[in-house]
Homo-oligomer: A and B are copies of this chain.
């Protein structure tokens, strides 16, 4: 067992048994049987010993995103790389999740990692959607939806709510990448002929219209009074 592995093992055990704040780096290195300097040579900070290798994972994600198949496929499979990593960790991932629930330092590092993935997704999506403000917003929303969908499923597995995370992942990411498939389908495949649009658009549009009209109706009495006041 390598020095690094012993440090990780000791950190997980002690953080779990006696808490993160209550455990000093000295405790960890003593349990691992190594010097204090060695700890900080392997990990930049105390919490790094129980964090996944986000840097390595990120480069795998970027690698998958850089391939040349359809954008939606690339995004889904790149997110799948991250999920698979957590699943492969097994109990250790679950323990980290419990720790993150009570230790801000661990939680914030974990979310920083997710932000890095999100930015990688964003870059890939933006490259396809363009950079005008509306497309920019759309890309941000989709990139964020992908990470969120991933996280929702991952969290369910971490908490032991589901035993079929990969199945749920496919469903969740299909939902998250829906607008991506729609926009790239219309803008790339068929220029404005609206063959696929014609099937689903009317009901959706009708629902949205009803709702907006309803909202407007809420405002109408006030607006009418406002108009009357202005007329005087």
Instruction: Enumerate chain A interface residues (CB-CB to B < 8 A).
Output: 69-70, 72-73, 104, 107-109, 111-112, 115, 133, 136-138, 140-141, 144-145, 148-149, 151-152, 156, 168, 172, 175-176, 178, 181-182, 184-186, 188-189, 191-194, 197-198, 201-220, 222-227, 229-231
Cβ A211 vs Cβ B230 within 8 A: no
Cβ A215 vs Cβ B208 within 8 A: no
Cβ A212 vs Cβ B211 within 8 A: no
Residues in B neighbouring A206, C-beta threshold 8 A: 191, 201-202, 205-206, 209
Cβ A209 vs Cβ B205 within 8 A: yes
Cβ A149 vs Cβ B168 within 8 A: no
Cβ B136 vs Cβ A152 within 8 A: yes
Which one, B112, B182, B217, contacts A108 given CB within 8 A? B112
Residues in B neighbouring A151, C-beta threshold 8 A: 140
Cβ B137 vs Cβ A175 within 8 A: yes
Residues in B neighbouring A211, C-beta threshold 8 A: 72, 181-182, 184-185, 189
Cβ A140 vs Cβ B133 within 8 A: no
Q: By CB atoms of chain B within 10 A, which of A197, A202, A210 has the most?
A: A210
Which one, B112, B149, B189, B204, contacts A214 given CB within 8 A? B189
Residues in B neighbouring A231, C-beta threshold 8 A: 222
